[in-house]
Structures are given as structure tokens and as C-alpha cells.
A and B are shown apart, each in its own frame.
Chain A
Amino acid sequence: MFALHHRQRSPRLFTRNPAGTVRTLLLIAACITLMFYDHQRGHLQKVHAALSTLVYPVQAAVNAPYALASWAENALAVHIALVRENSRLKKQLLMDAAELQQTAALQQENARLRELMHSGATLSGHVVLADMLAVDTDPFRHLILIDKGTDNGVFDGQTLLDAHGIVGQVIQVGPVSAQVALITDPSQAIQVQINRTNQRTLAVGGADVNELSLPYLTNNADVKPGDLLVTSGLGGRYPAGYPVAVVTQVHRDPAEPFASISAHAVADLDHGHEVLLYFPAIPEPPAPNPGRHNKPKAAGKKTK
């Protein structure tokens, strides 16, 4: 009687074998298998989608104070500040509209010239606004989270832009959120061309959130500080002709075969809040799109 009572009430002092060898090894093996398959992108798409839904409340909770602050800023804005902002935006709109007129004329001219050269027409897509969530990720990578997912048509590999240029691409997509690697992430490389000379090369990311480097240009390449880099559209990931970065530094060492060149990204990579999701005019059929072959399965389930 006493023994039973005692066993029920007192905290257990000695736990028999809480870290069994078999269990430990099995779980470690599970971790390594997960890492192995996750490294080969696309294999764990569904697992990632499910997990991202699971952790979304945490991310939304972290983002909530910032969302509230920006809402309060709008709701409690002083009249005079609003008037000032309004007049500034009107001016900006007028200037942009004037520039757009020229763009329209240039686009027509470009189409005519392409027709003359018998090359295919360039297709322009449309964009959808997405908000960045104020959530930190791995400190040694440059990743952001946006509040749109497959429910809004976001797909793996989708391009993100902002008002100034290319931001990055979607690398992980869940139903209500998506993870984006900025172009300056160490895992990323983007096909660019120098706008002045049409020289094509790769710009790769690194440690700094705003810096890209161009490691594959030879010492005698025609490149100088101030050159604008735009997407070349090769590789089929990013749409062609969008600004990416401005060359800031060119260092030519005769002992090295390649020049060391760094460029500053033109998009607001470290302090933007809104980004644009780019939807191409026609979905490219050969691109590996894991989201697509989910659809027939889901439809089949529904009919059953």
C-alpha cells in the first residue's frame, strides 16, 4: 500500500535507459537520410509543404508585432504626412507614366525589329504583390519568407522582383507561404549579361546580403565599375532583361586568369517589405515543376 502510494506521488529519480542505443542510431540514420534526400531538391517537396504549414503559426506570431506596427502606422498617420506622401506619389506616377510611354514605343520597335530578324517574340508575364514576413532564418544564408504559397499559384523556381530589379527565386513552397533564396545567397548563381557590351556571365552570391561576385570573367574582359548587369534569360530560370546589379569594383591581377569583380544588387534586398511574384506568360513545359504532377492525383482523389 505504502509502496504503491509512494511510487505514484514522487518524481521518478532513476529512468531506465532513456537513450537506448538502437533508438539513437535509428534516429541519427533518419536525420542523415532526410538530409541526403533533401539535398537532392524536389524529393521532399510534400514533406516541406506539410511542415511549412505546421510552423506557419509560429512565423505568423513572430511577424504579428511588425504587421501590427505597420498597420498602426497607416491607421494613425497624420493628415499632413498623408497629403505630402500623396503628392510625392502623384509626382512619381507622372514620371513613371512618361517613361512608360517611351517603353511602349520601344517595345513596338523591338517587336518590329525581331520580326525583321525572324527571331521569336519576347513574352512578358504579369506580377502579383507578396509581403515579406518579418522572420529570421539561417544567419549564414540569405533567405526570406513570403506570405503567398501554392494556394496563390506560387511555384518552385518562381522569380521575385521588386521596384528596382531581381530579388531572388522561390526554393521551397508550401500552401500559404514560400521560402525565397535571394540572388546573393551563397547557394545561388544567376545568368547575367553586361548591358553595355552584351557579355554573358554568371553572378554568384556570397557572405554579404547586397554583394554579388562575377568570378568567370577573364582579366581582359571589357567590364568597368558602373556597368549594369541584367538577366540574360539563359538557363530558363529568370526572365530576360531585368536589372540585377551594378558593378562596383574590378580588380585585375595579372597573376590570376580571372578578374575579381564585385557588384552591388540593385533590388532592396536587406530592407524591402513588398516583393513582386513574376508569372511568365506561358508556363515553360520542360522545366521540372513538382507542383504540376500533384494536380492529376488530387483530381483523381476527388472523383473517387
Chain B
Amino acid sequence: MIDTVRRRANWVIVVTYLLCLLLSVWPVPSWAEPYRPAWVVLATVYWCLFLPHRVGLLVTFSVGILLDTLTGSLLGEHALALLLVAWVTLKLHLQIRVYPWWQQTLVVFGLMLLYSFVLFWVDGMLGYTQGVLLRWMPVLITALLWPWIMQLINMLQQRYQVS
């Protein structure tokens, strides 16, 4: 009984991460590309917040490496940014969990600032300095998506009893 529940749970976590990776490379018109929300950050924050004993730093690192391969960036760039986000989330998960939705949105905004800053910093060292202002658009968009995505994954988690 517990084994089937656990297997189901893993299945749900893997599917949410896969969907986020798919959305991260889904083709959109080139003008819309800089506005793409950081889907993987949303999944990482959610699972680190609500299932910290399941999804921790190792999972985050692996997903980050996969994201690096998909986006063609330097290996370890997205992994580092995601790791820092996961670390802050795990450290504060007991506080953030009980915040109201708008306060959680603010937290996600802050985490996205950290995430985008790491990407900006590494890209800057490599000499990819285009779109200095456009780089910060996903911060706002991802934070605004948080309440909806949280509800959605929460529904999935309740439905399949992921714990």
C-alpha cells in the first residue's frame, strides 16, 4: 500500500518536472522568447517547499543539468542558479509554507531575482551581455504565475496523494 503510494508520488513529481522542461524549450515566436517564465523554478520551489524530504538539492542539481543541456548554455549554469533557489527554499520552507499566497508570490519574486542574477552574472562573464532589461522580465512573470501553478500542483498532489 505504502509502496504503491510512493511509486505514484514519484510519478507525479517526474511528470511535473518533465512538463516544465518541455515548456522551457517549447518553440515560441522569437520576440516572446525573453518573456518565457522560468517553469523549472516554479516546480523546484513547489516541491522543495512541500516535499523537502523527497525533492532536495540532488534532484534540483540533476534537473538543472538537464535544463542546461536543453537550452545549450554552459553546463552547470542553470544548475547553480536552481541550486541556490532550492537552498534558500529548503532553509526557509517552514516559514514560507504558512505564508498567504500573496506573500509567497513575493518570496518567489525574490527567488527569481536571485536566479536571474546568477544567470546574468555567468552570461556576463562569458560576454553574452545582450538584453540587459529583457533579462528581468521572467522575474515578474514567473512570480505572477506562482499562485496558479501552486494551486495546480497542489491539486495534483491531493489527487494522487503525493507525500
Contacts and interface: CB of A to CB of B under 8 A. Distances in A.
A28 B80 contact: yes
Contacts of A18: 48, 52-53, 56, 90, 93
Contacts of A209: 30
Interface residues of B, number: 51
A30 B76 contact: yes
Contacts of A32: 76, 80
B146 interface: no
Nearest to A52: B69
Contacts, number: 134
Interface string B58-79: 1001001110011111111101
Contact of A206 (B33, B84, B90, B130): B130
A256 interface: no
B26 A27 contact: no
B108 to A, nearest CB: 18
B131 to A, nearest CB: 5
Contacts of A28: 80, 83-84
Contact residues on A (Cβ < 8 Å of other chain), bracket: 35 or more
B74 A58 contact: no
Nearest to B80: A31
Given A12-B53, A31-B61, A61-B22, A136 B33 contact: yes
B21 interface: yes
B22 A138 contact: no
B15 interface: no
Nearest to A37: B75
A9 to B, nearest CB: 9
Given A38-B75, A141-B72, A14 B94 contact: yes
B57 A24 contact: yes
A23 B61 CA distance: 11
B74 A39 contact: yes
Interface in A173-212: 179, 186-187, 206-207, 209
Given A32-B80, A58-B70, A24 B87 contact: yes
B36 interface: yes
A19 B56 contact: yes
B14 interface: no
Given A35-B74, A39-B74, A54-B69, A140 B123 contact: yes
A134 B72 CA distance: 14
B27 A135 contact: yes
A48 B71 CA distance: 12
B22 A62 contact: yes
Contacts of B122: 35
Contacts of A47: 75
A288 to B, nearest CB: 19
A55 B70 contact: yes
Contacts of B84: 28
B40 to A, nearest CB: 12
A11 interface: yes
21 contacts: A15-B53, A19-B57, A19-B91, A24-B57, A24-B87, A27-B58, A32-B76, A34-B65, A35-B77, A48-B75, A51-B65, A55-B21, A58-B22, A135-B25, A136-B33, A137-B25, A140-B128, A141-B128, A143-B72, A206-B130, A270-B30
Interface of A: 8, 11-12, 14-15, 18-19, 23-24, 27-28, 30-35, 38-39, 44, 47-48, 51-52, 54-55, 58-59, 61-62, 66, 134-141, 143, 145, 172, 179, 186-187, 206-207, 209, 270
Given A47-B75, A58-B22, A145-B72, 15 more contacts: A14-B94, A18-B52, A19-B57, A23-B58, A31-B76, A34-B65, A35-B74, A39-B126, A51-B75, A52-B69, A62-B22, A134-B27, A136-B26, A141-B128, A143-B72
